[in-house]
Structure 1
Amino acid sequence: MNSIIHILQTQGNDILNSIGQHITISLVSLLIAAVIAIPLAIVLMKHKKIAEVILQITSVLQTIPSLALLGILIPIVGIGTVPSVIALVLYAVMPIFQNTYSGLTTIDSNLEEAAEAFGLSRSKKLVKIEIPLAMPMIISGLRIAMVMIIGTATLAALIGAGGLGTYILLGIETNNNALLIIGAVFSAILALIFSALIKGISKLSLKKIGIIFMAVIVLMGGYFGYKTVEKPQVSITIAGKMGSEPEILINMYKDLIENDHPNMKVSIKPNFGGTSFLYKALKSNSIDIYPEFTGTVLESLVKTNKDASHDPKATYNLAKKLLKEQENLDYLKPMKYENGYALVVKKSFAKKYNLKTVSDLIKVENKIHAGFDPDFYQLKDGYPGISKAYNLEFASTKTMESSIRYKAIANNKVNLVDGYTTDPQIEEYDLVALKDNKEFFPPYQGAPLVSEKLITEYPELKATLNKLAGKISVEDMQKMNYQVAVKHEKASKVAHDYLVSHNLLREK
């Protein structure tokens, strides 16, 4: 509870901004879905076969995983609000259309005949009889769609659209229950509030509902029109993966660029999502820069038949060469630290058995009860490979989600886990990463991955971003990660303080 209160106090403005983004995305999506689905149901109420086809199509759209849909949309429409709204509209059309169509086609035939007997025209019968009678079903569809939209909109954070999903995804990524609770609770509150509002609106007359609907459209249109006119165009967009470390790095890039080139406008998108989203966004010029690791480039982003080298310089040079040849992307000089795999134990355990390197585990292998991430447990550059390279056979091994393995070792459920060398939990739980003395793990140096378009337009940015080349040690990054992820300091401040303390930026 103390952590939640602390986050609310220190990040109150950011949380309010995220709530505003979430509401905006959700309302726009609901309005567009309603404008599409309700008139379509009215038009097709007398065309059963066509209506069934449309219903089948919308049902199929519901089965497409949201992550897959967002990934498909990135190369087509870029990142941010637009692909998020498109995805949410596609999901929301089905319940609104289905309920509206059902409401309109299940009206008592006697009432329909009575309306015709009174000589009501098709349009008057629709407005006076059919829509009012179908309104409970229409409202039900809108409420279902709104709740679904608010829940699904949390994934908008994965492609830079913001919203409360930022806190949910970051909470999962960093095993921070406080962030997770904040995002989930506020999302639930929004769903309840908007569900109640829609229910309340249903009690109004059709005329008043139409006025409210048009007023919301006008207000939303005015808001986006104002933003388009008033908001300055962003020249450079920098994005980062989930977690504290990428957010720190992209804030460093931003500070350096704005310091060296005051005329450039920079926008950052932290907690953007996974590697595939960022890579697609970079190739489609939706973003211009993001920090990537050399090992990840060779394993996931380029095609190569060569085995991974354990020489950091050779790994970087190969990654840079292949990125240029295959995707025409620039990979600037790497920083000093490596965020690679590590075997981690408690400091007390290491001290008791004098453990400093992975090789030292041989003397206590019958006492080791390990907890590994599922990927690490089965990848050749994970547990299978390192156990063979070091001739290790532990007493027991368990697989567990990466978000809980550190808590497992902190609570003595296991005494060894896999991790990354810059993880803030190493300091938080008083752990130590054993030295990979045989250099089994491939190098994972961080470096800016930059679009060719940006470097062509602003070639001077290379010198600016290369100021971080050879800088930031493992200890530095681990400390900064701890400040952001555990102490909940702002990533922008931590990044700025580092640059100033290392004479890379002047204090303002």
Structure 2
Amino acid sequence: MSFSEYLADRWPTIAQMTAEHAQVVLIAVAIAAVLGIGLGIAVEGRPRASRLALGVTGTMLTVPSLALFGLLIPLFGLGLTPTITALVLYAVFPILRNTITGLESVPSAVEEAARGMGLGRARVMLRVRLPLAWPVVLTGVRVSTIMTVAIAAIAAAVAGPGLGELIFGGLARIGGANALNDTLAGTLGVALLALALDLLFLVLFRLTTSRGIR
């Protein structure tokens, strides 16, 4: 069967797997964004705490994904829970790093002017510093999302949903009927999904960033 015939025959299944893959990635990145941005706000301006937070979260990126998924099996079993947990652990660092960097890049004169207008610390953060740092923060979320799309494919090793099922299934049956088509469809699906989400973040950047600081 040619690849075009394969796609015509299997496209509903591939579309469903792509949707599941995107859903897992977006859930994980949303959780990581809450954790990363919240932690970044909490430790920003505290050098020791910042170094500790970045060191711990950065260490997760050095752990091979297959090993991490394997370590999570005794704790969470197979399926969705270990998949999302692992993806969150990988996605936090770029968001945390960019949050700290973005907040530190806000000129102190701007913060002093806001305080001079009677704004408290929390209001300065929410209304002044975080909006000014937002382009850098959003870049961190974007990087985490693209990275997580690729890692999510490996979640098939722990029975996670998504396009990894096609890739792993095809590789396991290499030489068999449609094995190469499965692998190629899964790989192309991951690449196209990453591109689509990247374009989505470009649109989100324009919609959520003030024209004056783009």
Q: Decide: shared fold, TM above 0.5.
A: yes
- For residue 198 of structure 1, report the CA deviation from its aligned partner: 2.0
Partner of 2:201: 198
1:144 deviates by 0.4
Where do 1:401-420 residues align within 5 Å?
A: none
The one-letter code of the counterpart of 1:192 is L
CA offsets 1:350-372 (integer angstroms, 9 cap, x no match): xxxxxxxxxxxxxxxxxxxxxxx
Measure the CA separation in 2 of the matches of 1:189 and 1:65. 24
- Matching residue of 1:105: 104
Distance 1:44 1:145 in 2: 20
Counterpart in 2 of 1:125? 124
Q: Give the greater-gyration-radius structure (CA).
A: 1
What is aligned with 2:188? 185
SS of structure 2 residue aligned to 1:202: helix
Q: Which residue of 2 aligns with 1:11?
A: 10
Q: Residue 69 of structure 1 aligns with which residue?
A: 68
Aligned to 1:159: 158
Q: How many pairs were matched up?
A: 205
Deviation at 1:178, TM superposition (A): 2.4
The one-letter code matched in structure 1 to 2:45 is: K
Match of 1:420 in 2: none
The 8 Å contact of residues 4 and 179 in structure 1, kept in 2 or not, is answered as: no
Q: Is the Cα contact below 8 Å between 1:154 and 1:165 reproduced in 2? A: yes
Q: Distance in 2 between matches of 1:144 and 1:75?
A: 30
Q: What is the letter of the counterpart of residue 23 of structure 1?
A: A
Amino acid corresponding to residue 200 of structure 1 in structure 2? V
2:80 aligned residue: 81
Q: Which amino acid aligns with 1:106?
A: S
How far, CA to CA, are the matches of 2:33 and 2:127 in structure 1? 20
Distance 1:10 1:205 in 2: 40
CA displacement at 1:11 relative to structure 2: 1.8
1:49 corresponds to: 48
| Conserved 8 A contact 1:171-1:179 | yes
Q: Which letter maps to 1:127? A: L
CA distance in 2 between partners of 1:3 and 1:64 (Å):
38
Task: Tell me if structure 2 keeps the 8 A contact 1:73–1:83.
Answer: yes
1:357-396 equivalences in 2 (<5 Å): none
Does the Cα contact within 8 Å between 1:135 and 1:202 map onto a contact in 2?
no
Q: Give the letter aligned to residue 188 of structure 2.
A: V
Residue 72 (structure 1) shift: 0.9
Q: CA RMSD in A?
A: 1.6
Q: What do residues 21-52 of structure 1 show as CA deviations (whole Å, max 9, x unaligned)?
A: 10111111011111111111111112221111
DSSP 3-state at the match of 1:167? helix
Q: Where does residue 93 of structure 2 map in the other structure?
A: 94
What does 1:339-358 correspond to in 2, within 5 Å?
A: none
Contact 1:103 1:138 in 2 (8 A): yes
| C-alpha distance in structure 1 between counterparts of 2:202 and 2:132, whole Å | 15
For 2:42, what is the secondary structure of its paired residue?
helix
Q: Give the deviation of 1:205 after TM superposition.
A: 4.3
Aligned-partner SS, 2:207:
coil
Deviations 1:120-173 (A, max 9, x none): 211221122111111111110011000011000001111112211112223333
Tell me if the contact between 1:19 and 1:163 (Cα under 8 Å) persists in the aligned partners: yes
Cα offsets for 1:468-491 (capped at 9, x unmatched):
xxxxxxxxxxxxxxxxxxxxxxxx
Unaligned runs of 5+ in 1: 207-508
Who is 1:115 aligned against?
Answer: 114
CA offsets, 1:332-391, max 9 Å, x none? xxxxxxxxxxxxxxxxxxxxxxxxxxxxxxxxxxxxxxxxxxxxxxxxxxxxxxxxxxxx
Q: Which has the higher strand share?
A: 1
Match of 1:33, SS state, is helix
- Residues 17-32 of structure 1: matches in 2 within 5 Å? 17-32=16-31
**Residue pair 1:70, 1:83 contacting (<8 A) in 2 also:** yes
SS of 2:69 mapped into structure 1 = helix
**Code of the aligned partner of 2:121:** R
The structure with higher relative contact order (CA 8 Å, sep 6+) is 2
Deviation at 1:56, TM superposition (A): 0.2
Q: TM-score if structure 1 supplies the norm length?
A: 0.39
Residues 49 and 162 of structure 1, relative CA distance in 2, 3 Å threshold? same
Aligned counterpart, 2:212: none
Cα deviations by residue, 1:100-139 (Å, 9 ceiling, x for unpaired):
1110012112222222222221122112211111111111
Task: Quote the Cα distance in structure 1 between the aligned partners of 2:2 and 2:20.
Answer: 24
